[in-house]
Amino acid sequence: MLSAKSLFQEILDDDESFRLFCSIAASGEAQGGWENARIAALVPESERELAPKITRHGADEDKHGRIFNALIRKRGLEPVPVPPDTDYTMLLEKHGIGLAHEKLRSDRPLTVRDIVTYLAHSRVTEQRASEQMELLRKHFADHPDVGRAVKVISNDENNHLAYCHEELLRFAHVGHGRAIQKTLRECALAEIRIYRDVSLAVMAHMGRILDWPKAKSAVLAAVIHAVYAWERFAGWRRMVSLEMPQRRNALGGPAAPAPEYA
């Protein structure tokens, strides 16, 4: 029977598919770490109190990248180059979601509107990350190789999502509500399309590595398209709602050190 658990188990059991999966994840996390570090450095003076939280966000992303790379090396393997069609973070940036890297590479301070854009983009992408890690945690929390990593990263992603909710609500309270909702909607609709394309690309690469029959690949592609259809119709709305989280000030302290995995 084809299920999320059996699919991930198959990917985890094969060295080549495992290191591609972890390499893709590590690359995206490292890119997120760089973006957050640059945003923290360029925060406008009026929002300097937010800088430590953005720094913590970036430190967590860097930690996740190190964890995924450690999982690869624990098997005696090395990371592999990330195929461009699977590079979720760079494809989001290419399609104008979030803050342009050209802006982040400059030394000009960001505006408050830029910070709102960053938080709205993060609200959407952290929803996806939180859901993905919850799925892995559900099925692999007790896995001898990846269980500990899954639990650490899942907890961090939930903190990131809580932080985005809380800070966006703060900005909405001081008059940015309309801009926040507009940006959230634009980001969500773009993200679900890019997530579909990346999912199709990742499954195509995995299919070649694992020598999946054409029928299996076709079923997986159909499932991905069906998920996109649901998200395009209604599912995207879960990415744009805002509510005060139970985890308040979730990024108010220093990042926890990365456990040793290798």
Q: Given a cut of 80, is residue 213 above it in pLDDT?
A: yes
Query: Does residue 46 lie within any of the structural domains?
Result: yes
The pLDDT of 50-73, averaged and rounded, is 97
Token couple for 60? 């967590």
pLDDT tens track for 89-133: 999 999 989 999 999 999 999 999 999 999 999 999 999 999 999
Q: Examine residue 86 and state whether it is found in any structural domain, yes or no.
A: yes
- For 59, the domain range is 4-239
Give the pLDDT of residue 262.
39
Domain presence at residue 206:
yes
Tell me the per-residue pLDDT of 183-203, one tens digit each, with 9 for 90 and over: 999 999 999 999 999 999 999
- pLDDT over 60 at 258, yes or no: no
CATH number for the domain spanning 60: value is 1.20.1260.10
**Predicted structure pTM score:** 0.94
Number of domains comprising the chain: 1
Mean pLDDT across 37-48: 96
Q: Is a pLDDT exceeding 80 seen at residue 49?
A: yes
What whole-number percentage of the chain has pLDDT above 70? 96
Structural domain contains residue 111: yes
**Cα dihedral 180→181→182→183 (10° resolution):** 50
Nearest to 170 by CA among 122, 115, 125, 129: 115
